[in-house]
A and B are shown apart, each in its own frame.
Chain A
Amino acid sequence: MNTKTRSIEAYRRQLVEEAHVFADREIRPFAADFDERGQLSKDLIGKMAERGYLSASFPERYGGLALDPVHYGLFTEVIGKACCNVRTLITVNTSLIGETLLRYGTEEQKNEWLPKIASGEKVGAFALSEPLVGSDAKNVQTAYRREGNKYVLNGKKKWISFGDLADFFIVIAGDRGQVTAFLVERTQGDITSTPIQGMMANRASHIAEIEFKNVEVPAENVLGPVGGGFAYIVSTALDHGRYSIAWAGVAIAQEAVNAMVAYARTRSQFGERLHQHQLIKGMIGDSITQLHAARALCRKAGELRRDRDAEAVIETSIAKYFASKAAMQLATDNVQIHGGNGISNQYPAERLFREAKVLEIIEGTSQLQQQMISDYGLQKYFVKRPNLSEERSGH
């Protein structure tokens, strides 16, 4: 590593450290309140924008901090440890929307939207899921039709994070088997968002159902190629989303470990601290092993993404699958170690437990990840061996 690379590394590490301090001071104390009230503070969004935290991975010319994938992952972890809802804001705006715009946006689209995301002037939402379509994204029901030099959109989206707060959307819509992505401003036509209540988690992520009625979108607002909405836009957005969610898993797993360690060292039962009980030691030992393994997978995925390695996509999927599963397991064990206190909202354990579950569902369920990982392994690890019986018989 040369001097310049070392100094860039040191600068990026410092940015992550500063974000950690910021998160502990400005986010963590309010996380339970956000969850309870079901909304984030606009003041906080402004403070994050001022520091470049809504655009940490964007190039500097778009107002970003130019963090490479590894440091962007570490950044996601420190924000996610403090609050899952604030981390969701970053997952949606920086990873899903920003990174996809960086890859497929025209120069005009990038110049128009990326600085506005970075400055917090515009909040975006990725409108993919629908009442009847989740993982099966190729079959979206939201429809578009071309009329001259514009497109007309009709349909309903559901479970859209930040959908109720968003100033603009990336909308995935279909027309006779073709899927296309559109950049749509809320003010562009008849767009109604309805907040979804009664969520188990991500309660302050402004999750909404959104209806588009004859919304006219100019042709220059098509993102990526017409007909390439699934193959390129959705695939790329979800790949970036999975990377973010993988680190979100590490964040919850780390929080769970911190909480169980603190509780086990202070709480006594049967005249002994909890950590002196062997079964508790076993749970803590397993938890730390899972945490370290999850972080190692995320770091590996980050390094491959940084190097633009062809294996980055599948390693990201593996990291997301493992880290979200680890987060759920550790959040469960953390509740268990906390006993009755673990199921009360007087401790963060119950919130972590609720939030961990979401990670196994969003950006491709664990079952979809298993399928992709399996397909990969069935090809990669198949070793062709000579047919021994044929060899022996001289054929």
Chain B
Amino acid sequence: MELQAKVRSYIENNLVVFEENVQFSDDDNIFERGFVNSLFAMKLLNYIEQDFGITVDNEDLDIANFSTVNNIVSLIEKKRSGVS
């Protein structure tokens, strides 16, 4: 599965809205839209570090880096390429 789809699928599996036809774009802020609960930031961080084998430093923990599918993908790509 490509990176974008993998991240999207993880978020979809952790949504706390239970309407079948819920939709969000890759640029939607999942926290502001109330799509995930308060535990999710920590869960997401653990998931990214574990599944993609990267370490996210404190300076990258800005919630904005985790707020949309595209931002999460950018962060993973940045860490993978070793750009700090």
Contact = CB atoms under 8 A, between A and B. Distances in A.
A270 interface: no
Contacts of B47: 310
B16 A232 contact: no
Most buried by B among A138, A236, A375, A378: A375
B42 interface: yes
A308 B39 contact: no
Interface stretch (A220-228, A291-299, A337-345): A220-228
Contacts of A235: 38-39, 41-42
A329 interface: no
Interface stretch (A159-167, A194-202, A379-387): A379-387
A231 B47 CA distance: 15
A236 B49 CA distance: 15
A214 interface: no
Contacts of B43: 310, 313
B27 interface: no
Q: Which of B49, B58, B62 has the most CB of A within 10 A?
A: B58
Contacts of B59: 225
B58 A308 contact: no
Interface string A80-108: 00000000000000000000000010100
Interface string A347-384: 00000000000000000000000001001001110101
A232 B20 contact: no
B9 to A, nearest CB: 12
Contacts of A236: 42
B39 A232 contact: no
A375 B42 contact: no
A81 to B, nearest CB: 29
A232 B45 contact: yes
B46 interface: yes
A58 interface: no
A230 interface: yes
B46 A308 contact: yes
B41 A232 contact: yes
A225 B62 contact: yes
Interface string B15-30: 1101010000000000
* Interface hub of A138, A236, A309, A310 (most chain B Cβ within 10 A): A310
Interface string A278-309: 00000000000000000000000000000011
Nearest to A105: B58
Contact of A228 (B18, B51, B61): B61
Contacts of A372: 37, 39
A239 interface: yes
A2 to B, nearest CB: 23
Nearest to A222: B58
B58 A379 contact: no
Contact of A231 (B15, B51, B63): B63
Contacts of A313: 39, 42-43, 46
Contacts of A231: 38, 41-42, 63
Contacts of B58: 104, 106, 224-225, 228
25 contacts: A224-B61, A225-B58, A227-B62, A227-B63, A228-B63, A230-B38, A231-B42, A232-B41, A232-B61, A235-B42, A308-B50, A309-B50, A310-B46, A310-B47, A310-B51, A312-B46, A313-B42, A313-B46, A314-B39, A372-B37, A372-B39, A375-B16, A379-B13, A379-B15, A382-B18
Listed from nearest, the 4 A-B pairs whose CB atoms lie closest are A231-B41, A235-B42, A225-B61, A375-B16
Interface of A: 104, 106, 138, 224-225, 227-228, 230-232, 235-236, 239, 308-310, 312-314, 372, 375, 378-380, 382, 384
Given A106-B58, A225-B59, A235-B39, 19 more contacts: A104-B58, A225-B61, A228-B62, A231-B38, A231-B42, A232-B41, A239-B39, A239-B42, A308-B49, A310-B43, A310-B46, A310-B47, A310-B51, A313-B39, A375-B16, A378-B16, A379-B15, A379-B16, A379-B18
